[in-house]
Structure 1
């Protein structure tokens, strides 16, 4: 039987642990908070992140990262992207010499502009071909409820991609495989920024035309940046591109959309973030994504607009006017 350690007991880490267990994989979740671990271990629940939901009894939990990783074929990382480097500095020795390291994270590191797979390979000192990425329309609550969904498992090593896909192939969760790690990661990171923009528009009282415009032009920004970094442009038409983008921009379950909604209603960003018990990755990653785009001379006006509102004090009204007054041009992808 395949054995997996899931490092991170938030909503997506917990939901993915359930997927693995339902697919027949032996799973141990690591969490840093003893009360969360105790709830998963003893009550088969994680009410702080997935309220009113029962987990399979086969899902185990521990606060000991070495115990979680012992003998694991897969080490799944489901923590905040901006804490990954510091965490791996202490965890590198327990990841194992052969285990496939699986990233559930959707962000770009501040300062370095690195994708999560790059941070993992560099910090843990492992072959990049050992790192797989899972991304797609991953609204944790719906997956925990066992609603039909699908995602992409991307890895440079096709055998490892297949092994990860087999380990999470549950009756309600359909994994597809890909070799395009860059494209899958860029799609997953940038869609969070676009979701903030769509949420802002909704919060301002704007309708479906505006949302469709932002989603479509957001996809153009994702495709331009990903292509410049070596991604296959067709990746952005699939689950890890358009699929994830539509889900995150449209759902009230999306943390990034919800934060954007409140920004559009005029709430200060500091108050919004202080009230959240989960991280909206786009709030932080928008700066690193914009910096990466500027480094490669890729125009990303939506990402720039989000940075302006979230980090530079620009009003949502001024941002909307600025976007709509840009110079006309031909539509290009």
Structure 2
């Protein structure tokens, strides 16, 4: 009996990763360092065929090699989900309902679901984990989220990185964190699922604001003050929407994730905001970028949620006005200056 148990322990963990972008590719690279088998669903069949032939993503992190003994690409989602223990969602939040439209509760039964998405479901204004729970009946104890501070591009280069795994279930968070730990990445578990998820959503909006101000010619001094004020906005919002007395917003899963997204050259939200500050329209900026800036969709959701709570969030309001009310960035940031201190 002991020998049988030992053999079972050595079997690889079966994981499905849904999404073909840079973050999905980075997560697969990290997981491949450990004892796993990964079924990777991508929307485009041409990408699936390319990966099967050349063992790397043709569109994102193209220099990152993939281990063909551990990673198998799929075009049919049902095939990718068959027999797995974990489902990792790495599709942009706005596209999640369409991507999963042919699935039902059976596909998620007895599986742990991990959201690697840092956005909200538009129109419904729901966190991804809330939407998954509502649509597919996944219990909270089987849900967790991946937070930073971590950029896919640095993972591809195997630079030392850190991740925060949050779940209401300590076992769920710790088990998944153990699948990520490797020579160039450390993952740790915390229990604040909704605090981490909301912070991950809002930090993309703040990064967008940083990009706008940079595009307008503001310097590091102004950005430092804005990011400091942004942390206060996040604190006020979380206290109103999902209060938690043991939450430490100065830890890496909150403040660290905000800082890396606000300042990094790899931040797509900062890049998007920079284009807006330089005079691009929303549509032209979206067309020029090859990746989705989650902050664009998220700011509308957070703005509408906050209409119920009335939290003072001048940075969120400024970004919303610029993107959705067609306010001029120069005048809106000029107004914002008076709020910051």
TM-score strictly above 0.5? yes
* Residue of structure 1 aligned with 2:16, choices 5, 28, 35: 5
Contact 2:196 2:253 in 1 (8 A): yes
Aligned to 1:309: 322
Provide Cα deviations, 1:65-100, integer angstroms capped at 9, x if missing partner: 111111111110000112223333422346342110
Aligned to 1:99: 111
Normalising by structure 2, report the TM-score: 0.92
Partners of 2:64 and 2:31 in 1: CA distance: 16
Q: Is residue 254 from structure 1 mapped to residue 267 from structure 2 by the alignment?
A: yes
Provide Cα deviations, 1:175-225, integer angstroms capped at 9, x if missing partner: 110110011101100000000111111111211111101111111111111
| C-alpha RMSD over aligned residues | 1.6
Provide Cα deviations, 1:255-307, integer angstroms capped at 9, x if missing partner: 00001111111122211111122100001110001111221111111011001
Q: How many residues align?
A: 328
Q: Unaligned regions of 5+ residues in structure 2, if any?
A: 1-11
Aligned to 2:253: 240
Normalising by structure 1, report the TM-score: 0.94
Provide Cα deviations, 1:9-45, integer angstroms capped at 9, x if missing partner: 1110111011111122211110010111122222111
Contact 1:85 1:119 in 2 (8 A): no
* Residue of structure 1 aligned with 2:209, choices 172, 176, 197: 197
Contact 1:182 1:231 in 2 (8 A): no
Aligned to 1:20: 31
Question: What is the SS of the residue equivalent to 2:121?
Answer: coil
Contact 1:256 1:281 in 2 (8 A): yes
Q: Unaligned regions of 5+ residues in structure 1, if any?
A: none
Partners of 2:15 and 2:276 in 1: CA distance: 38
Aligned to 2:231: 219
Q: Is residue 45 from structure 1 mapped to residue 56 from structure 2 by the alignment?
A: yes
Contact 1:193 1:286 in 2 (8 A): yes
Aligned to 1:288: 301
Q: Is residue 181 from structure 1 mapped to residue 193 from structure 2 by the alignment?
A: yes
Contact 2:39 2:72 in 1 (8 A): yes
Partners of 2:228 and 2:108 in 1: CA distance: 42
Question: What is the SS of the residue equivalent to 1:225?
Answer: helix
Q: Is residue 136 from structure 1 mapped to residue 162 from structure 2 by the alignment?
A: no
Question: What is the SS of the residue equivalent to 2:159?
Answer: coil
Q: Is residue 123 from structure 1 mapped to residue 119 from structure 2 by the alignment?
A: no
Partners of 1:152 and 1:144 in 2: CA distance: 18
Question: What is the SS of the residue equivalent to 2:32?
Answer: helix
Aligned to 1:323: 336
Partners of 2:105 and 2:80 in 1: CA distance: 13
